[in-house]
Amino acid sequence: MTVAHPLPGRPTARLLDAAGALFLAGVRGRAPLDAVVATFLRGRHELRGAERGFVVDVAQGMWRVRRRLELAARGLSAEPTRGALACLYLVGARRLPPSELPIDPAGGRGLAEAWRATDGAPDDVRLGVPSWLLQRFVDERGGEAARALCATFAEAPPTTLRANRLRTDPDALVRALAEEGVVARRAALAPDGVVLEFRAELFSTRAFTAGLFEVQDEGSQLVSLLCGAAPGMTVVDGCAGAGGKTLHLAAQMGGKGTLYALEPHERRRHDLSRRAARAGVHNLRVGDVDKKARLAGRADVVLVDAPCSGTGVLRRNPDTAWSLTVDDVARLATQQRAILEGYAPLVRPGGRLVYATCSLLTEENERVVEGFLARYPAFVAVDAGAVLAAHGVSLPGEFLSVDSARHGTDGFFGAVLLAR
């Protein structure tokens, strides 16, 4: 776990007000929370260094437990101010004892008491997950595992980096970060992973400017490992986004061979090209997805990291759970099947097609792969656990399946399909 960077002293009323204001901006706005944070910080020049980190960290925590926080706030004897809302969260989530708060917003009724009164709230409010989604998790994993999973959505996720092997290695990265005051350690699962002990302003470090790392969760790094990309290969990242996995594949290829990154969104292609330049990737061709036709039968590896419900990354994007519907999941599964089938012809005989999502739902994962294999007998699933074992990662199983409760990683699914 990455611990929030401590403030030099107790939080002031000004900082708590700012955290409450940011929380409300996210609740009331329509923009994604990342964009809300960026806009908010642009207008708050008076907040400096650790203060900015604290305000964002508290607001993100509040978003993660939003339903429960709103219910607890209704139990206070007076309408809470913005700062009082932040205090209620900090006490309820046991991040600060009431004695550490600079204001006493409870108006005679204790914050801890108001929070405790929500202990008996319905599961969806307490766990912060809509009822239909909680029921899916219960059906697929059992009640205890489902509740343990949802409990992790309320926790701050670790900040995980991937050491860029084109420039460094994980141990050298840990040392380089330490020289800049950033405390980190090797990750437990991903061989190139490095986890921050405390939150830090990463993007102003020399290590970042020099392209020594990318921010990438361990689960995502494990997906890239399934691809078995190697120097000299022709590799296609079919849903490249802004390149999280593309850049990892490039590092595995050591600059030799050709890596195609295909992505329909122009803005993401632009971000990917910028990141690739910083990371020292020179064997990359970035293009729209219509470029895939000319690659038929040529690829040693094709990665399809398909658009999905994002249920594996709810602790990072707590706003997505409540806008997701049962119909969305069905629609996504149809799209995932179509994208996977669209990329299958690119794989040469003996090559590898890797299907991945950051979904925790079987409808988007196992069911998509089963349907594909039934229609494409030229492909056969190979054991993902064995592929990972070759990289020194012990996660036995036909498919890669990790999540925040069992592995401490974001939730990812991955299947390795071999073209015969």
Ligand X SMILES: C[S@@+](CC[C@H](N)C(=O)[O-])C[C@H]1O[C@@H](n2cnc3c(N)ncnc32)[C@H](O)[C@@H]1O
Query: Is 358 considered catalytic here?
Result: yes
CB of 243 to ligand X, least distance (A): 6
By beta-carbon proximity to ligand X, the closer residue of 61 and 243 is: 243
CB of 293 to ligand X, least distance (A): 13
Q: Are 111 and 73 in contact (CB under 8 A)?
A: no
CB of 353 to ligand X, least distance (A): 14
Tokens (6 digits) for 384: 């993902």
CB of 297 to ligand X, least distance (A): 19
Beta bridge partners of 213: 163
Rounded to the nearest 10°, the torsion over CA 271, 331, 34, 74 is: 180
CB of 248 to ligand X, least distance (A): 8
Residue with tokens 């959505």: 153
The one catalytic residue among 87, 150, 239, 358: 358
Q: Are 63 and 33 in contact (CB under 8 A)?
A: yes
By beta-carbon proximity to ligand X, the closer residue of 124 and 263 is: 263
Tokens (6 digits) for 183: 């405390």
Nearest CA-CA partner of 360 in 139, 188, 65, 126: 139
Q: Which residues bind ligand X (CB under 6 A)?
A: 220, 238-242, 244-245, 263-265, 268, 289, 305, 307, 339
Compute CA distances 169 → 37, 181, 219, 293, whole Å. 32, 18, 19, 36
Strands 284-287 and 258-262: parallel
CB of 27 to ligand X, least distance (A): 26
Nearest CA-CA partner of 149 in 406, 402, 412, 409: 406
Tokens (6 digits) for 10: 């107790």
By beta-carbon proximity to ligand X, the closer residue of 44 and 265 is: 265
Which helix (H) or strand (E) element contains residue 380?
A: strand 379-382
By beta-carbon proximity to ligand X, the closer residue of 241 and 371 is: 241
How far is 177 from 306, CA to CA, in rounded Å?
33
By beta-carbon proximity to ligand X, the closer residue of 158 and 414 is: 414
How far is 282 from 257, CA to CA, in rounded Å?
10
By beta-carbon proximity to ligand X, the closer residue of 119 and 290 is: 290
How far is 182 from 198, CA to CA, in rounded Å?
8
Whose CB is nearest to ligand X? 244
Beta bridge partners of 259: 235, 284
By beta-carbon proximity to ligand X, the closer residue of 118 and 234 is: 234
How far is 237 from 419, CA to CA, in rounded Å?
17
Which helix (H) or strand (E) element contains residue 419?
A: strand 412-419
Nearest CA-CA partner of 164 in 313, 3, 15, 276: 276
Nearest CA-CA partner of 275 in 264, 265, 286: 286
Q: Are 41 and 26 in contact (CB under 8 A)?
A: no
By beta-carbon proximity to ligand X, the closer residue of 115 and 260 is: 260
How far is 236 from 2, CA to CA, in rounded Å?
33
CB of 135 to ligand X, least distance (A): 25
CB of 245 to ligand X, least distance (A): 4
Active site residues: 358
